[in-house]
Structures are given as C-alpha cells and as structure tokens.
Chains A and B, each alone.
Chain A
Amino acid sequence: MAYSRTVVRPTMKWRVADIAVASVIGVASALIYWAVAIATYAPWSLLEAIVPGLAGIFNGLWLFAGPLAAVIVRKPGAAIYAEIVAAVLESLLGNTWGGAETILMGLTQGVFAELAFVFVFYRVWNVGIMMLSGALSGVACWGYSFFTNLQAISFTGSYGIVYFLTTVVSGALIAGLAMWYLFIAIAKTGALDHFASGREVRRMH
C-alpha cells in the first residue's frame, strides 16, 4: 500500500469546482466593487482636485477579481471568466457604470490580467506574476477610459500620464500584491483544499 503507487494526473481542464469558484469570486467581487463605488465617491473628487489624475490610485479596487480567480483556479481563462461574470452581474443590476458597456470593460481588463499568466504558460505562480497581472489590468482600465469617455484628453499629456501611473501602480499593488497575500490568507483557512493552489500553500506553511 505504498504511496509511490499513487497515480496523479495533472490537468488544465476545468473542473466544476473551478468553474464554481471562479464564478462566485466574480459575484463576490461585484458586491465589493459596488461597496467600493459608494465609498470612493467623495475621496475621488478630492484627489482629482489635488492632482489631476491622482484618483487613479483607486482603480485597483475594481480590478482584483481577475488575478484572484486566476491564482486560485490556475486554469486558462480564469481571470477573463471571473471578470465577465462580475461585469454581467453589474450590468444586469443597472445603476452602476454603463450597463452593457461594463461587460466590455470587464472583458478588456480580464484579457489583460490573463496575459501575464499566458506569458509564463500558466507555470509560474508568484507575487511577481500577480503584480504584472494587476498592472496589465490597470493598463487596460486606463486605456479603456481614454478610448471612450476621455477621448478628448491627450493620453500623452500630463493628465494622461498621471492617470496611467496611478492606475497601473494601483493595479499592481491592490489587484496584484494584495491579492497574492489575500490568496495565501484564504488558503490558510482551508477553504482552498480542493484546489492544487491552496494545498501548495498549506504544505508550505
């Protein structure tokens, strides 16, 4: 009855548990995004008044679903899927950003967040890759704004650059760095024992 006979079959195929957790992370994120939208309403205007574009530092709070789902599930498309579920839910609830447009935002941010993991063929999972993912998601967030509502502002001007830097840094720190440690904290609760990612953390700590 030796454990050497244990057969392990690693797989990139999504299990039902993977789908469920990615979709529920999307849903919980939508709830948190909504709370964040209310909470940052006043400070947003304040920061804009101090330094134009500085309010971008809040943007990471709307970008975390993708990297978080990806690092837990570790299957191709997890970041995109979680962002889309969150966006579809938000658009159906209405009264948030832009109805159907939210889905496009979610899609762009999810695709960019996913890119980081594609670059390393879903083999490397560490804080660096997470920060890259968050930062890329920030790039998408910034780019989307200038492609749509802020077309009239030159994205290479001072406003555009400040907004770019703050959004990307916010993405890297909140959606990347903070999500990495959040993932480890969640794994320590045992909630992720059904996932290879969670078991790895529990083995190491």
Chain B
Amino acid sequence: MNQTVVRGKQTVDDMDERSRNAVQFCHWGYRHASRDQFAVRGVDLTIRQGEHVLLLGASGVGKSTMLEGVAGLLGDQTPSPRHDTAAQDDDTRTDHEANAEDPRAGDELVADADGGITEGAILVHGVPANQAHGDVGLVLQSPEAQVVFQRLGDNVAFGPENMDVPREEIWPRVTEALDAVGMPDAQLDRSVLHLSGGQMQRVALAGALAMRPGIVLLDEPTANLDPDGADQVVQAVRQALRATQATMILVEHQTARWIDMVDRVVVLGSVEQGTDDQHTVVMADGTPEQIFTNPDLDLESLGVWIPPQYRKNEGTGILHVEGEPAYSARTGNGRTLLRAEDLSVGHGGRPIAEHISLDLHAGQITALVGTNGAGKSTLSLTLAGLLEPLAGQVVAGDELAAGARGRWPIDWTSQQLASRVSYVFQNPEHQFACGSVMEEMMLGPVRCGVDEDEARQRATTLLRRFHLERYADANPYTLSGGEKRRLTVAAALAAAPRVLILDEPTFGQDRNTWMQIALLIRSLRADDIAIVVVTHDRALVRALDANVVELVPQDGVKEWERAEEDPAHEIAVSSIRERYEEPKPSSHSPVLASMNPVFRLIAAFVVSLPLLLSLDWVSASVAVLLEFAVLWAAGINPLRAIRSTWPIFIGAPCSALAVLLYGKSGGATWWQWGWIHVTDYSALLALATMLRIVAIGMPAIIAVLGIDATDLADGFSQILHLPDRFVYGGLAGIRLFSVLQDDWASLTASRRSRGLGDDNKFKAFFPQAFALLVLSIRRSTMLATAMQARGFGGSGPRSHARVSRVHARDWMLLVVALAVPVIALCAAWGAGTFAFMGNIQG
C-alpha cells in the first residue's frame, strides 16, 4: 500500500526507511474546540509496520484523540504547504527525537475550522496523516454511528468509491472484505436496520478493510456489543490481520479477548510539565508479558481490566457496600412491588416475548439478559409502564399502588408513575429536559408535588452522593459520558421511586466509572428499592449478585449457564431476524418501478407544472381523466391511485371552499356577507381549483412515491451531475430519519417516566422538539466522522460503485408525461375555457 504515498523526489532507500515506520507521532498534540486543556500534548511515539499495538491509559488521557489524529480526522482537512515542507525536511531523519526539536513540527499551533488546535505532526508511512486517507482504516465504538447508508454492501463500497477505485474493482473488494470478516454470504442489498450489533460492527470493519489500509485502527470496537457479538468481531479482526499483514492499533479497556493477538502494549499517562501544561508521555512500552507483570504499574487504577492470565486475584467478586441490608440481592426482602402476570410484550401488536411471569421485590436486583434484539428493552419498558402490554398484565403490589389510579402502571398519570417507577435510558440525552443540572434534579420531585425547598435539599444530597455537586449550574449536555449517566440515575432517584429500571448502565464505560456505577446500584438496596438492570455485562451481574432472567430466542442458544440452585429463569422469545429480505419494489406500478428515479422526478414536474398555465374545469378534468387512464395502464387502478394520494382529496375541497368564498368575482352574485362574495365566476373557479389540485397532485405524488433514496442520489450524482459531497451527505442524513423516529419515541417515553407526560400536547411539543434537534446534531457530528474515516469529502475525483442507468423507456416516460398537460390544455383552448392563471375574461 505504500506506493500510494510515494512522491517523485524520494529514493528507494528513503521509502524503505519510511515504510518500516507505519505511524510516527512527532511531538503531537491536539486541543478540542472549547476545551481549556489539550486532550493530548507533546506525544512522541513510533509504531513500526506490522506491529499490533494495544494502547492503554486512563479515561481522558487522549487515546481516542490519537487514533482520530492518525486517521487524519483532526486538524485542517486541506493539505497546506507547511505540511509538505515539514515532510520534506523529515526525509533526512527518522529519529523522532529530532523532530521534537524541530520548531516547525513542535511549536506552531495550528487552529482548524473545527475550533481545535494542533501542534506537532503525525506521519503515516512518512506522510502527514491528513493526506494519507485510504492508508488508514478506522473502526469506532458505536456500530450504529458508523453506518452511513441503508444497504449493507453500499457501506463497504463507500471507502473504495471515495478513493476513486474503478467500479469493476470495487465489488470484488467488497466481497473480499466481507469474506475477511466472516460474512461471505451477506446479502449486499439488505438493509442494515435489522443487523445485530456484532454484524453491524463487522460491516464497519469490512468497510475499513475494503480500502485496503496498511494500518487498522480500532477504538473500543466491542464495548457496545453483547458477548457473542464481541467474539464475532475479535475473530473477524484476527482473520483480517492474518490475511492483510496490516499494522493494528487498538484502544480497549476489556483486554482479555484481544491479548493473544497483541505484540506490543503502550501505556500512556500525563505529567505536569513546567507551568500548568499537561503532557502526554509513554509510561511503559513492551510486550504484554512485560507490561502486565510489571509490579510498578497499577493498571487497574487506569481503568484497565487485566486479562485473566495475568491477574493476581480472582477478578471482581460480589461487591459490598456499607449499610446494605442483610438479605440477598437475588431475592430481596420478599415484598412484591411489581409483578408481571402471563405478560406478552412487543411493538405494534407483534409480540416478541410471551407468557412472562416475574416478581420484583424490594431490595432485589434483577438482571435482564439476552442477546441484542431479544426484547430486553421492550420488556423493561413494559414493566416501567411506558409500553402497553399486548396480553397479560403488569400489576403493582399494594405498597406501590397506594394512592395511584388503579394497579396497572400503564394507566397511571405521568406524575404518579414518576414517583413510583423510574426508567433510566441507555442514552442519557434521551432523558434531559432542563437547562441546568440542578433543575434536572429538581424536576421529578417538583412534578410529584414536593415543595421547592425540599426538592432542592433532596437534589443537593443526591448530587453530593453521586459526586456531581460542582456541576449544579452546568448544562447537563456538557458533562462527560460517565457524569451524564450518573446524573440520569440521580435525577431518577430524586423523585423517590420504589422501582428503578436501568438500561445498559455500564455500556462503554471504563473500569473506574464501571466500578462507581456498580457500587451505586448495590447501595440502592438500602433504600428498599427494587432494581432491574438490563445488561449483557457478565461482570456486572456477578458483582451485583443479581437474580438473572434471560430472554432466549426460539432458535437461539442459552448464553448464560448457571448453578442449579440459582433461581434464575429463562423466557422464550420469538426468533429475532429473518435471514433473507425481499427487495421492496420502488412503486406499486411495475412500469414505474423500472424507470430511472431522476426521470420519474422530472416526469412528475413535466406532467403537473404546465397545468398551472390555465385554471379552468376543462383542462383540469381532461388531465385527471388522462392520468387515471395512464396510471391504470401502468398497473395502478383508480382506487389505488386515490388511496395513495388521499390527503389531496381532502385538501382540494378545502382550497375550493376558500376560492368559492373569497375567489375572484364576476357574473351574478349568489351570496355576499362580509368578505365573502360568492359569484358565478368564483363558483366556476372553485370547481376548476378542486379538479386542478387533483390533476397536479396525484401524478406528482405517485411518480415519486416509493423511490429508493439511494437510487435517487445515484441519479442526482451521475445524471444531473450534482456535487457528490452534497448528494451523498444528504443521503446519509436521510438514512437517519428512522433513527430520529426512534429517538422521538424514546423522548416521549422518557418524558412520561419523568413526570412530564401530563402536560398538554402543545406545551410538551417544543421542549421535545428541542431535545430531538440536539440529538440530531450530535448524530450528524458522528456521521461526519464516520464518513471522513472512509475518505469522504476530499476534493479529488470519486468513483461510483452503482450505475444509474437510463433506458429508452425513461425518455418515453417523459413523452407520455408531457402529452397529458398538452392534450388537456389544447382541449381547454378548443372548448374556449382556457383561462391564463385563473383570469377569466368576462
């Protein structure tokens, strides 16, 4: 792969020297926008070709920032002359110490359009990282955040497209990459929507590998996966590294799965230097054996899980906290707070799991486990009174139901619910509703009728207990990931609920945050609360000593073995995913479906816009009749045509009424009252308006209804030659539509859970729309990173994996589309009713 980075002047010797250094940090540093401190500063590190390096260090030491830097995602995206000269100078030296003294590489701080500051340089195979796109493949933590397009294959083809790989080479590369990650039979046009986390993450890895990178960067790629998914990904990486001989840099807290493929471990730390500058330094560097057996390194305090083979003690046992009750967390004190009786749960009437019976006791911790997509969240939302049971019931015990409207949580008002059952969402941003941490804390209690002083006192106590008191005035969104999570738990507790349900509380947390959260959950037992933890974190279940309830798909395997005396039980759920998806036709009409989407869009305009020339009943009715006939011939009968376009059949009479009452007048007056003036002409115009709205609207809707967004984007790019950056940026945004719909549903549920659900719809709409916009902007930032990591956005040429084909029939479509208004307008002319823009000459 090195040939992509060779420049004319270099000699073969230089190249050899260079190629042995895969990555070189030369006194590199980066400060993110709006931060006072550098995330990484002054780091010097060289990684050689073919090495498999594990980067360790406490949270916040800047490991992810370093990977982003190597991937060329930080700093200016446009190559600057400064970088070139720096690279030329470096030709003569390979020792990074020398670079550290080079003022050009070390001292100059360069601000970029992201608001960040870069110092020093990162060289990838001797070239500044910003110019080495394609030589580096990056895989990030969240599988969902790395999906760019709807179809599986398109995501893998995206990198090669951005590198301008010729089309005929792209698909073999896609197949090869999917092969390498153990998905050789993947259906390329299937939607990524129903993939499991493990599959999605392997698609992301394949997307990186298809660029044939010399260096693979992995940023906690298994942190968000269930154990099965994590195994799949590790296996895929192992295979891929063997096949490609690529260099690997891995950032990971859970090291056990990876350790046998790692040959070098680098431990990073930060030290005070001179004034108040924090500098990043390599604290230890060696083989896994050397690092993990080094008695001077306290890796656990850095948030690292030590692999079992190097562990001195037996890992995390059951956690105990001060003041906890004597009875076991598996059973609680025996008083039932909430009970599921023969419960069926699911979305939209389709059950995922049925016949669930479950008791939640005070002081008990229940762990709801099972593979991704088995319905853990659905069950927990139903238990929390946020989702209607499909059958059976969720019943509150006497203690919990006292004072509420009935015994079914789903029937309670939002306020009654908030003080009884609380739900903490996986994504903290689904939950925030206020502008400051203190308001956020006081929201629940105040909503539940607690007076302000007591609410403030309660909030202050909880903030202290959760180590958040110094953020009381901060905006909740600005906290770090771990702090946000603690805040959502604290805010849920402030309303003093008796049942607390937590969705994946330890997702993607390092060992220190993990420990804090686990201790916190244990300590809640003293408050006589029933706790439900939705998780696939085995260590957490062990540490909490929780009662395990597993959801097992019919065709799936039970993953959680347990001792016989364990009261755990399993719940059968329906199979999760079908293996093959029929491609959905892009129109009810097979004729339309076979047309090029851009031509369909143009046809929609061609058929409808000329009709605007005349507003008269003859042209409009001729057009409507012709359209019904043409659509019928194309396979859409009039009934189906009306059904697909029903809103215009409601809108048209409304507009016609406005025209009848307030339209241009002329001829005999039928009725006059105030502004209303109904005349011969206004009646005629009303009829014409109604017919013409149908004549314009019906084909304009049906022609484009069902067009696949990806096909349309390909057409925009290849036929209309619109710029790819905007076309595919827009397409990637449109894919997020379904994600944002889910966000909206989560926001609605979380507001009910927090006691905000009783507000009238109008009042509740705006704060929720605000939360959606903030979420969407966060998602767009992640999307931009994912796209840039695949080399998108450069000014160079780009190839296209898919072809937008134009056939003779597409031109025929335009001819037919034009014929409709031409015939209709000629008919009006002939009948003498033609009225230019509705101006009837009396």
Contacts and interface: CB of A to CB of B under 8 A. Distances in A.
Interface of A: 1, 3, 5-11, 13-17, 19-28, 30-32, 35, 39, 45, 48, 52, 68, 72, 81, 84-85, 88-89, 91-92, 94-101, 103-104, 147-154, 157-159, 182, 185-186, 188-196, 199, 202
Instruction: State the 9 A-B residue pairs at the shortest beta-carbon distance, nearest first.
Output: A23-B733, A99-B701, A100-B604, A189-B477, A19-B729, A24-B780, A152-B685, A16-B793, A151-B838
Contacts of A89: 709, 734, 737
B663 A152 contact: yes
A17 B788 CA distance: 9
Given A11-B113, A27-B740, A20 B780 contact: yes
A52 B661 contact: yes
Contact of B783 (A6, A24, A159): A24
A23 B107 contact: no
B117 to A, nearest CB: 7
Contacts of A23: 729-730, 732-734, 780
Interface in B459-483: 475, 477-478
A152 B113 CA distance: 50
Given A19-B725, A194-B781, A28 B740 contact: yes
A100 B703 CA distance: 8
Contacts of B608: 100-101
Interface stretch (B177-185, B189-197, B412-420, B651-659): B651-659
Nearest to A7: B110
Contacts of B701: 91, 94-95, 98-100
Contacts of B117: 6
A9 B781 CA distance: 21
| Main DSSP-derived SS at the A contact region | helix
B601 A100 contact: yes
A10 B112 CA distance: 8
Contact of B114 (A84, A147, A157, A194): A194
Contacts of A190: 34, 475, 477-478
22 contacts: A7-B110, A9-B111, A14-B725, A14-B726, A20-B780, A24-B777, A24-B780, A27-B736, A35-B769, A85-B730, A95-B644, A96-B647, A97-B647, A99-B697, A101-B604, A101-B696, A101-B697, A101-B700, A153-B662, A159-B662, A188-B475, A191-B777
Contacts of B115: 193-196, 199
B33 A32 contact: no
B111 A6 contact: yes
A189 B769 CA distance: 15
A16 B784 contact: yes
A200 to B, nearest CB: 10
Nearest to B33: A193
Contacts of A101: 604, 608, 696-697, 700
B615 interface: yes
B39 to A, nearest CB: 13
Given A3-B109, A6-B109, A13-B78, 12 more contacts: A14-B725, A16-B792, A21-B777, A21-B784, A23-B734, A27-B734, A31-B737, A68-B773, A94-B701, A152-B664, A154-B663, A188-B477
Nearest to B656: A152
A193 B772 CA distance: 18
Contacts of A30: 737
B811 interface: no
Which among A1, A85, A103, A147 has the highest number of chain B CB atoms within 10 Å?
Answer: A1
A27 B700 CA distance: 21
A152 B707 contact: no
Contacts of A192: 777
A39 B765 contact: yes
Contact of B774 (A9, A31, A52, A186): A186
Contacts of B108: 5, 7
Contacts of A153: 658-659, 662-664
A16 B729 contact: yes
Interface of B: 32-34, 76-78, 107-115, 117, 119, 435, 475, 477-478, 601, 604-605, 608, 612, 615, 644-648, 654-655, 658-659, 661-664, 675, 682, 685-686, 688-689, 693, 696-697, 700-707, 709, 712, 725-726, 729-730, 732-734, 736-737, 740-741, 744, 761-762, 765, 769-770, 772-774, 776-781, 783-784, 787-788, 792-793, 837-838
Contacts of B765: 35, 39
A185 B774 CA distance: 9
Contacts of B709: 88-89, 92
A150 B76 contact: no
A104 B709 CA distance: 18
B477 A152 contact: no
A98 B791 CA distance: 37
A20 B477 CA distance: 20
B700 A98 contact: yes
A147 B781 contact: no
Contacts of A1: 107, 109, 119
B610 to A, nearest CB: 13
Contacts of A98: 648, 696-697, 700-701
B777 A149 contact: no
B704 A20 contact: no
Which among A24, A26, A191 has the highest number of chain B CB atoms within 10 Å?
Answer: A24
Nearest to A32: B769
A193 B34 contact: yes
B191 to A, nearest CB: 15
B662 A157 contact: yes
Nearest to A189: B477
Contacts of A21: 777, 780-781, 784
Contacts of B773: 25, 28, 68, 182, 186
Contacts of A20: 729, 732-733, 780-781, 783-784, 787
Contacts of A52: 658, 661-662, 675
Contacts of B110: 6-7
Contacts of B837: 151
B138 to A, nearest CB: 14
A152 B675 contact: no
Given A24-B783, A99-B700, A100-B605, A149 B774 contact: no
A45 B654 contact: yes
B776 A27 contact: yes
A10 B700 CA distance: 43
Nearest to B663: A152
Contacts of B783: 20, 24
B604 A25 contact: no
Contacts of B646: 95
A17 B784 contact: yes
Contacts of B661: 52
Given A24-B779, A194-B33, A147 B612 contact: yes
Given A7-B111, A101-B697, A158-B675, A31 B706 contact: no
B261 to A, nearest CB: 32
Contacts of B693: 149
Contacts of B769: 32, 35
A35 to B, nearest CB: 7
B121 to A, nearest CB: 14
Contacts of B663: 152-154
A20 to B, nearest CB: 4
A125 to B, nearest CB: 16
Contacts of A68: 773
A16 B158 CA distance: 15
A28 to B, nearest CB: 4
A154 B78 CA distance: 53
A30 B740 CA distance: 11
A16 B662 contact: no
Given A17-B784, A23-B730, A191-B778, A28 B704 contact: no
Contact of B733 (A7, A85, A189, A191): A85
A193 B32 CA distance: 9
B712 A92 contact: yes
Contacts of A189: 475, 477-478, 774
